[in-house]
Amino acid sequence: MILRLQPTGLLTLWRRVEKVKADLVYLRRSIKDVCQEFFKAQDSVKVNVLEKEEMASKLDVVKKSLPHSKAENDEVTHRCTQVKMKRDETCESGISP
């Protein structure tokens, strides 16, 4: 098939080609912008995950340092009560702690 174009038809075809090229440039830029935003968001998610892991490890350390049994809890409560009573007695007798 032989394509024969008139000069005006060739100009119309040229304009269409230029428009498609401009659209491709716009799409390429849009894709680049979307990819950059995606990678920024991905980095942000990685940072959030690392922060959560760090907080979880700190929480584990705190949990391990807390008494675990009721007897240990009662012992800590008893010691705190004794210290408070001694402090109150000292304050009542006029001696500053």
Domain ranges of the chain: 13-66, 69-97
**How many angstroms separate the CA atoms of 44 and 47, rounded?**
5
Q: What is the pLDDT along the chain (97 residues), one digit of tens a residue?
A: 566 666 677 788 888 999 999 999 999 999 999 989 998 888 888 888 888 888 888 888 777 777 667 777 778 778 888 887 877 777 666 555 4
Residue pair 73/67 in contact (Cβ under 8 Å)? The answer is yes
CA 32 – CA 92 distance, rounded (Å): 75
Is this prediction's pTM over 0.75? Answer: no
Residue 2 phi, psi (nearest 5): -100, 130
